Amino acid sequence: MKYKLPSGKYYCRGCIGLGRASEGNWLIRLPATDRFEKRKNDGLTWQGKLTPLQQEISDQLVLNFREKKSSLVHAVTGAGKTEMLFQLIATCLSQGKRACIATPRIDVVNELYPRFQAAFAQIEIGKYHGREYKEPGLEQLTICTTHQLMKFYQAFDLLVIDEVDSFPYVGNAELHFAAKNAVKNTGMRAYLTATPTNDLLQEVKKGTIQLLKLNRRFHGGLLPVPKEKLFIKPFLNKRQQIHPALLTEIKKVILSKHPLLIFVPRIEEIPTYLKTLQDKLKMKELKMAGVHAQDPQRLEKVQAFRERKLDVLLTTTILERGVTFKNVWVIIIAADDAIYTTASLVQIAGRVGRAQEDPTGLVLYCYHRYTKNIRTSIKQIREMNK
Amino acid sequence: MRTCLLCEQEFVPPIYFAPIFSFKQSRSTRICSHCLQKFQKLTGNYCSFCHKEMDQGLVCLDCKKWQQMYPNNVLHNHALYHYNLAFHDLMVAYKRRGDYVLREVLQELCYEYLIKTDYDYYVPVPTSPEHQDRRQFDTIFAVYGDILPLTPLLKKKTGSHAQGEKNKQERLKTPQSFFIDSAVELDESIKTGKILILDDIYTTGRTLYHARDCLRRDFPKAKIESFSICR
């Protein structure tokens, strides 16, 4: 679609958040001329230890960086992807080169930043996303959203894109263009995902990217395979009351003393479910809340759930990835809704069983129609478990 | 399938029977039903002067103050929506970023109401020349110009600051910055006609009162009211 100003000039809606660019504007770009000192100390202050499987991937990434070979890390949810990046980033920094970790989601930037700050205590890290407006600086290590990459031109020797399969990066031509231009011609790219998209797998086939696969979680356990349950009648009836079979499933989880994440497809449904659950469960000491992208108390509620101050959290897909809750079990209501892509379903199932002490758990897909996305997501999880 | 201007997801516009059988050309929907739902209509009890929603009573606190300042001469404002987060985000995208096409979303919100109104003159609240230069369009004119025949009688002096960047006290102290554009050719009828001043948001009322006072000076016998999409 093309959009015009009254003067008849076209303007771009894709990057309008960064300031409107219209026909006749000058865009000036220069390759970055920053120079960083080589250092003996690579800046890595992280003391943890990688599992042998993680170590293998980490070593391969370092080798590929030296040989400038782009890589796709396909690691299951809960494999410990962030830790596998530390050595790669450290190698880049020690050579006096510039690195960037980009991800489509603001929440993931907020989650990654403190972890890298702790792992590279002496390095100044630039953090950029749309809710924290500032002009990009010249930090040697940058963590930002993929949208912010539009502000960089041939700036990085290493570009890591985390959660590369997620909205809005996936299938977005502008963001792919930005990611392409942000790296130097001599730079290396690394893509991280639990559910690789077809275009990346095509590139692997062509040989332009090397595939590194990690099929085990860091604790060595298998991924929980989702259970499916068919519902004939609607989840909420005309009187806004919950399906009794669904209520039974929810009760079972609560009685098992596991914290429960319930995914619903639309924000508007959250208050309705909260109300009917409160009416029907009749458990006074049970604490429930709902959270969605526009919720001003979103961070507080997620934190309360993490600390087990809440027993049940109703959420939209915002909590599908990048978050860890101990011992959590998951129920997806209307897993057949178009909003759940295969990648979303795999990611949601990946919230369960992430802790060493409790590597199993329940993932339940509730559906009316058995969709292709449900089928392929379960197939993918089974394949990764082989 | 169409792409929603706000969430950029594809949607199927709802189909109604009436437009199919009527010869009137209907406007095409530009936003999906989920985005449309976020805009909250003003319902229930509201202030009889400025349309602010209230639990009870006839006149809101803001208008009581205006009553003291303008005895028997409080401005009558019509409004349709609540100024909520969804509307705030829309206005930021439209005015601050200059996303011109979003005028169509605003038009969609007020079209049905405005085409049924019957005034002799529709006068848009003008944008300051600086803002117009930067955005390359007049925000109010762009919204209403496609719906109603406008009479751009008012002009704004240069160097006046935007209301959106001030707090309530500063807004209320804003001096008069409008003047009548003498270049606009007018019919004699304006002196006793019905005039509707058009703005986007009514916050304190300061802007609309200034606009009204400015028109009142030249046309003391005209019947002047105002319209804002939000209150």
Check CB contact under 8 Å for A6 and B34. Answer: no
CB A149 within 8 A of CB A327: no
Does residue B124 fall inside a structural domain?
A: yes
- What distances in angstroms separate CA A266 from CA A314, A333, A338, A350, B35, one per listed residue? 11, 10, 11, 21, 12
The model's confidence at residue B8, banded by pLDDT at 50, 70 and 90, is confident
pTM of this prediction? Answer: 0.74
Q: Which of residues 77-96 of B touch A (CB under 8 A)?
A: 85, 93
Does residue B181 fall inside a structural domain?
A: yes
Check CB contact under 8 Å for A1 and B137. Answer: no
Does residue B142 fall inside a structural domain?
A: yes
Paired with B141 in beta bridges are: none
What single letter denotes the amino acid at residue A292?
H
Number of domains in chain B: 2
The reply to whether B3 and B110 lie within a common domain is: no
Asked if A180 has any chain B CB less than 8 Å from its own CB, the reply is no
The reply to whether B31 and B63 lie within a common domain is: no
- Give CA–CA dist B155/B128, Å, rounded: 8
Does residue B43 fall inside a structural domain?
A: no
Q: Residue B186 pLDDT > 90, yes or no?
A: no
Which pLDDT score is estimated for B26? Answer: 64
The reply to whether B82 and B15 lie within a common domain is: no
The model's confidence at residue B197, banded by pLDDT at 50, 70 and 90, is very high
- Give CA–CA dist A17/B92, Å, rounded: 10
Q: Domains of chain A (ranges plus CATH)? A: 1-29 (no CATH), 31-214 (3.40.50.300), 227-294+304-380 (3.40.50.300)
CB A329 within 8 A of CB A363: yes
Could you tell me which chain A residue has the CA closest to the CA of B137?
A: A6
The reply to whether B33 and B102 lie within a common domain is: no
The share of chain B scoring above pLDDT 90, in percent, equals 41
The reply to whether B226 and B156 lie within a common domain is: yes
Contacts of A294 in chain B (CB under 8 A): 85
Tens-of-pLDDT digits for all 386 residues of chain A?
689 999 999 999 888 888 899 998 998 888 777 678 787 777 788 888 899 989 999 999 999 999 999 999 998 888 888 899 999 999 999 999 999 999 998 878 988 999 999 999 988 999 998 877 788 888 999 999 999 999 999 999 999 999 998 888 888 888 999 999 999 999 999 999 988 888 898 999 999 999 998 888 888 888 999 999 999 999 999 888 999 999 999 999 999 999 999 999 988 889 999 999 988 888 878 899 999 887 888 888 988 998 999 999 999 988 888 788 889 999 999 999 988 989 899 999 999 998 888 888 999 999 999 999 999 999 999 988 88
Contacts of B101 in chain A (CB under 8 A): 3, 13
Phi, psi angles (nearest 5°) of residue A259? -65, 145
Helix ranges (H only) for A8-144 are 52-66, 81-94, 106-119
Nearest to B85 among A3, A13, A294 (CB): A294
What CATH number does residue B213 fall under?
Answer: 3.40.50
pLDDT digits (tens, 9 = 90+) for B128-153: 888 888 899 999 999 999 999 998 88
Does residue B172 fall inside a structural domain?
A: yes
- Mean pLDDT of the residues in chain B: 87
The reply to whether B208 and B170 lie within a common domain is: yes
The reply to whether B9 and B106 lie within a common domain is: no
Does residue B19 fall inside a structural domain?
A: yes
Could you tell me which chain A residue has the CA closest to the CA of B133?
A: A7
Which pLDDT score is estimated for A288? Answer: 92
The reply to whether B94 and B162 lie within a common domain is: yes
The model's confidence at residue B19, banded by pLDDT at 50, 70 and 90, is low
The reply to whether B167 and B137 lie within a common domain is: yes
The reply to whether B74 and B175 lie within a common domain is: yes
SS3 A110: helix
Does residue B72 fall inside a structural domain?
A: yes
Q: Which domain holds residue B157?
A: 48-230
Asked if B136 has any chain A CB less than 8 Å from its own CB, the reply is yes
The reply to whether B221 and B107 lie within a common domain is: yes
Which pLDDT score is estimated for B23? Answer: 63
pLDDT digits (tens, 9 = 90+) for A92-122: 999 999 999 999 988 789 889 999 999 999 8
Does residue B199 fall inside a structural domain?
A: yes
Which pLDDT score is estimated for B191? Answer: 75
The reply to whether B71 and B147 lie within a common domain is: yes
What is the average pLDDT across B109-125? 92
SS3 B191: helix
Check CB contact under 8 Å for B137 and A6. Answer: yes
What's the full length of chain A, in residues?
386
